[in-house]
Amino acid sequence: MSVSLESYWDDYARPKGSAGSANPVSSGASQASATSVDRGFGWTQYEGHGPGEELLCQPQTALELGCGKGNELAYLARKGVEATGVDLSGVQCEAARARWADVPGLRFQQADACAFLEQAGARWDAVYSIWGAVWFLDPERLLPLVRARLTPGGVLVFSQAPPVEGCYGPQGMYGRGFRGESLPVQRWAYTPAMWERMLHAHGFDHVRARVLEAPDPAHVGTLLVEARGPGRSG
Ligand SMILES: C[S@@+](CC[C@H](N)C(=O)[O-])C[C@H]1O[C@@H](n2cnc3c(N)ncnc32)[C@H](O)[C@@H]1O
């Protein structure tokens, strides 16, 4: 029987050096943000680089998909935002709850992001993902679910790696290597223009997708996508 995706992400969440923790999808963001929320809110793999929480348009409520250890959510909650994090990994959620136990208005739920959105009764002013679940879910399934759970005019913002030129759509890899147990892991890669078309087709507007240059332009940049759900007139 094949091992589950949940176990893959649990291994990813464990401290580096522990069994099975080597991981080819890390943004480096976890390590960079492991110690403090004081560094602020960022979207890129380079600390202090690029825009911050202003892209969320001052939400009262926010949902992060694939929140990891919850550093950005804690940052928002400390500013009074009612903040919810969803992550497939129980290891991540437990670590997040322990780390931020003293922060009010913050909760973490272990779940697949699509399953969570399908059964959610609430709506959020901002749904976002920082190299998180949006990267690892089929947008054709995810985008309608997000749209349905945004308050009128609410925002969707996410970041991830830019696509490798010519390699678009689902990208597969074996999460336990070629000699390990069979563990297919997928993520989805598109150009900014492809994301813009897809978001418009799913009823989002004010769509802006771009690749933010790295501090050293020779290094890997960051794909950053912003969109608004329908609803608020004027
Ligand atoms: C590359 S990590 C990024 C974590 C965090 N946003 C950060 O920057 O440190 C991706 C996260 O997404 C979570 N994830 C992956 N697929 C998911 C899914 N289908 N539903 C919810 N979370 C998921 C993983 O468990 C992991 O915590």
Work out the mean pLDDT of the chain and round it to a whole number: 91
Q: Please give the distance, rounded to the nearest whole angstrom, from the Cα atom of residue 12 to the centre of ligand 1.
A: 9
Write down the pLDDT at residue 33: 42
- Determine if ligand 1 sits within 6 Å of the CB of residue 29: yes
Confidence of residue 18 (pLDDT cuts 50, 70, 90): low
Write down the pLDDT at residue 232: 67
Among 5, 8, 9, the mutation site with the greatest number of ligand 1 atoms within 8 A of its Cβ is 9
Per CATH, the number for 5-17+26-228 is 3.40.50.150
Q: Please give the distance, rounded to the nearest whole angstrom, from the Cα atom of residue 34 to the centre of ligand 1.
A: 15
**Least confident segment among 22-26, 36-40, 44-48, 199-203:** 22-26
Q: Residue 8: what are its φ and ψ, rounded to 5°?
A: -60, -45
- Determine if ligand 1 sits within 6 Å of the CB of residue 32: no
- Determine if ligand 1 sits within 6 Å of the CB of residue 221: no
Confidence of residue 40 (pLDDT cuts 50, 70, 90): confident
Residue 167 pLDDT > 90: yes
Distance CA 77, CA 142 (A): 25
Q: Residue 23: what are its φ and ψ, rounded to 5°?
A: -145, 130
Structure tokens at 30: 């976890």
Domain locations in the chain? 5-17+26-228
Question: By alpha-carbon position, which residue is closest to atom 2 of ligand 1?
Answer: 132
Render 155-211 in DSSP notation, one character per residue: EEEEEEPPPPTT--EEEEEETTTTTS---EEEEEE--HHHHHHHHHHTT-EEEEEEE
- The rounded percent of the chain whose pLDDT value lies above 90 is 85
- Determine if ligand 1 sits within 6 Å of the CB of residue 136: yes
- Determine if ligand 1 sits within 6 Å of the CB of residue 87: yes
Residue 17 pLDDT > 90: no
Atom of ligand 1 nearest to the CA of 13: 27
Atom of ligand 1 nearest to the CA of 112: 20
Report the pLDDT averaged over residues 7-34.
64
pTM beyond 0.85: the answer is yes
Q: Please give the distance, rounded to the nearest whole angstrom, from the Cα atom of residue 134 to the centre of ligand 1.
A: 8
Confidence of residue 228 (pLDDT cuts 50, 70, 90): very high
- Determine if ligand 1 sits within 6 Å of the CB of residue 137: yes
**pLDDT single digits (tens) 179-191:** 999 999 999 999 9
Distance CA 41, CA 84 (A): 16
Question: By alpha-carbon position, which residue is closest to atom 27 of ligand 1?
Answer: 68
